[in-house]
Structures are given as C-alpha cells and as structure tokens.
Chain A
Amino acid sequence: MPMQERHEILRPVSNLFIASSVLVALFINALPWEGIWLALRPDFVAVVMLYWCTHKPHRMGIGLSWAVGILSDVNDASLFGQHALSYTVLAFGGVVLSRRIRMFDLREQTTQVFLILLATYSAYAVVQWQVNGQLSWSYFLGCLTSTLLWIPVSSLFHSVRQLRVDRE
C-alpha cells in the first residue's frame, strides 16, 4: 500500500482540475451500471468531493458540494435535494475532519473516511425510507466499495499533484 509522505510540497491545484475531476466522477456515475454492479458501484462523486473537502477545504466546501448534489439529483432522477442533503453531510464531515484526516497515512484514513461515507449513505437511505417506505440493505455495499475507492483516488490525485515536483 502506498504510504503518503506527510511533508511533501504539492503542486497548487487549479480550479479547472477540481471541476474536471468532479465532472469525470459524474460521468462515471452516469455510466449504465446494472444489477449487481449497480449495487457494488462506489459513489465516485462522493469520493472525489470528499478528497477535495479534506485536502482543499477552502476551495470545495459545503455550498459547492450541495450544488454538485443538485446536479447528481437531476442526473439520477432522484428526489430534488436528496443527493444534495447527503453531499452536504459528506462535505461537513470532510471539512471538519480535514486536518485530522490529513495527519494520518492512507491506511488509517480509510477508517475515518468510512464513517463519513456511512453518514452520507445513511442520510440518503433515511430519506428514501421516509419517502418510499422501503430500504434495500444492498445499498450500503456501495459505502464499502466507496471506502475502498478512497485509496486509489487519493493516491491518483496525489501523484497528479506531485507531477511538477518529480520533473524538476
């Protein structure tokens, strides 16, 4: 497992990079997932946004996450505000725990990330349960796979942010 250096100098992140990463995540979420793959599909948007909320809490905050949630709602044809609410919870967790999470290495981060994602998924599921009166437990599988996705996503973003440092 790649261990993350704690005192590295990272390349400043452009807004374009943040926006395009979120767009790509929306795109991957929108791919035609079906059956068991749908249940196992991690929420790419949530993981990407959590990364930015923890690493750039002043750039990607609760308000922006809410807006991305609204986009997700339209994308998924879910209730207006359902993803927005869960991503608000996600961003709150990310922003509040950002320093704490950045102190840990990648493996220790996953436990923290799991709890935040669990809260996010629960917020979505509770709304679903209240509105439709049914809840499928397989939905929470996505929470586990999203947590597993945290490791590749954050190492990928880290390596992209390190590119310039390596070249010099």
Chain B
Amino acid sequence: MEGTQTFQVFNRGPSPAARLVFFSVLSLLLMFVDARYRYLESTRSLISELVYPVQRLATLPGVLWQRTEDFFVSHNHLLQENNALHRQHEADMAQLVQWQAMLRENHQLRTLLGLQQRSQPNVKFAEIVYAERDVFRRKILIDKGSAANIQEGQVVMDDKGIVGQITRVYPWLSEVTLVTEKDHAVPVQIQRNGLRSIAFGSGDTSHLALRYVPVSADIVKGDVLVTSGIDGIYPPGIPVAKVDVVERDAAYPFARIVCSPLGGVDEHRYLMVLSPTSSLPARPEETPAPARPKAKKMGGH
C-alpha cells in the first residue's frame, strides 16, 4: 500500500504512517493528561468558544419547534392551565406559610441547641440546551455558565428531586453529570427512619442502587430517599429516589436495593441550579498532634 509512495518526485513531508504514529501518540498523551490531571480545562473552554456558535445553532431547530408549538396553543388550553396553576398556587401558599413558621421554629431550636444554622440555597433557573450526544455517557448541558456565576460542584434539581451536579463549566454553558451516571454517588437517608446510605448511579437513566446496606437494615419498597447533607455538597432534605426492589439474600452480607430517581433525569427543559451550601468545618485530621491549642475550637461553634 505505502509501497506506491517509494519513488517520490515531490517531497510531501513525513509518510502517513509517521503522521499516524505522531498524532496517535499526541492524542494518547492528551487523553492521559485530561483523564488524570484535568490540566486542560482552560484549553477546552477556549476551544469551546470556537465551537459555541455551532452548538448554539444546533439547538435552533428544537427551539423553533418549541416556539411554533407555543404559538399554536389554544385560548381554552391556556385558561385551563391558568386555573390549574392558580389552584396549585393557593394550595402551595397555605403550605408555604406553615413551612415558614416551621423554619422560624427550627431556627430558634437550632440556636437553643447551639447547632450550625442551615443556610437556604439560592436558586438559578437554567434551560437544558441539549442532552449529551454520546451513547456512553449521560450528561446534559445547560445554558448558564461561568458568565452567570455557575461553579463546579453546584447541585442541579427540578421540581421533584435531584437531577445531578455541575461537573464542567464553560463561559456560556455548563455540563451536568446526572445522578444516574455510573458510579456517581449521592449521600442519602431514608425519609421514614433517617437511615443513612449512599446511592450510586448505575449508568442507566432509570435506576440507582444502594450499596453496602446490611441485610438487616429497615428498608422497604416505596421508601423515599432524600439527601442527608452530610457531604456539604448536596443540601439536606431534597428527594433523590424511591426504593423499587429490596432483595435480601442471606448468602451475601449486603442487601441488593434498586431505586428509581425521582427527579426527571431525562424529561424536563427547565432546571434549578442551587448555590453552593455553606462550607462545613474541615474534617479533623486522622491522627491529631497531642498538644494543639486549636483543638479546643472543634465543637461545632
């Protein structure tokens, strides 16, 4: 094949094989650096500004379709929807008043007990630009980026529960890794009895799994898992998933528990991005030095 190139009249630079080796090694090097050290994020965001027009343009057909649908919506339908929303709003208001009373009470109780106050996360709304176009990974891109003060690690949810976490920020876009992404972990607790565990993504948008839960643990089908908030990333009390299957096999030390995510991981167009929660006190070191004056301060104040 390359034998045809042996008699060269014009010098055309290195042979294809040499180029193949050079660029393959270059790619492998880049991949290694990207996967291991993530040094290339700034380069990536620089190039992403080049690609941004193409990305933006690619969302246009979807947006146009949505606009056309919005345009041809009937008067009657709008009235019905408005009525339903009004009723919903009134019902929610009643609950909200109660909730505010509870919040004040909780605040007072926490002050009395000397516990750290829970901060209320701020919410930014964002629209899904598109779902990831890679069969291997479940990620979505939203239309707010570092220009809108989005940071890595912020939590993304919809009206029903947690959807995911922001893992990469571009100037005008950010990438959300879904809770169902393989090996993505969320610290959770069971709403009914407060049992803590960790929910792991399975790589499939329809379910999560609880690992390392003892066979004897009190978990039944239908239990709701909410975030426990002990990691300092996910604010406490946000619904994550519902338990679907609990299999207890005495041959294994742990029960097999499968749950389905509550947040519409692949449904909605609009999502909420929560501001980062207040940072928890730093984790104490494993072996503290014997005489350290600062150690007295570790008391949760």
Q: A interface vs B, CB < 8 Å?
A: 23, 26-27, 29-34, 38-39, 41, 58, 61-63, 66, 69-71, 74-82, 84-85, 88-89, 92, 95-97, 99-100, 127-128, 131-132, 134-136, 138-139, 142
Contact = CB atoms under 8 A, between A and B. Distances in A.
Interface of B: 1-2, 4, 12, 16-17, 19-20, 23-24, 26-31, 33-35, 40, 43-44, 47-48, 50-51, 54-55, 57-59, 61-62, 130-137, 139, 141, 168, 175, 182, 203
B134 A76 contact: yes
Contacts of B51: 26, 71, 74-75
A99 B2 CA distance: 11
Contacts of B31: 79-82, 85, 127, 131
Contacts of B1: 96-97, 100
Contacts of A41: 133
A81 B136 contact: no
B136 to A, nearest CB: 5
Identify the interface centre among A70, A100, A134, A138: most chain B CB within 10 Å of its CB. A70
Contacts of B23: 62-63, 66, 84-85, 88
Contacts of A134: 136, 182, 203
A104 B195 CA distance: 68
Identify the interface centre among B29, B33, B51: most chain A CB within 10 Å of its CB. B51
Given A79-B35, A80-B40, A132 B182 contact: yes
- Mostly, the A contact residues are helix
Nearest to B62: A32
B27 A136 contact: no
Contacts of B33: 80
Contacts of B26: 66, 81, 84
Contacts of B47: 70-71, 74
A119 to B, nearest CB: 11
Contacts of B20: 62, 88-89, 92
Given A23-B54, A62-B16, A88-B24, A81 B135 contact: no
Contacts of A34: 131
A75 B55 contact: yes
26 contacts: A26-B51, A27-B57, A31-B58, A32-B130, A34-B131, A38-B133, A66-B26, A66-B27, A74-B51, A75-B54, A77-B134, A78-B137, A81-B26, A81-B31, A84-B26, A92-B17, A92-B19, A95-B16, A96-B1, A96-B2, A97-B1, A100-B1, A131-B35, A132-B136, A138-B135, A142-B135
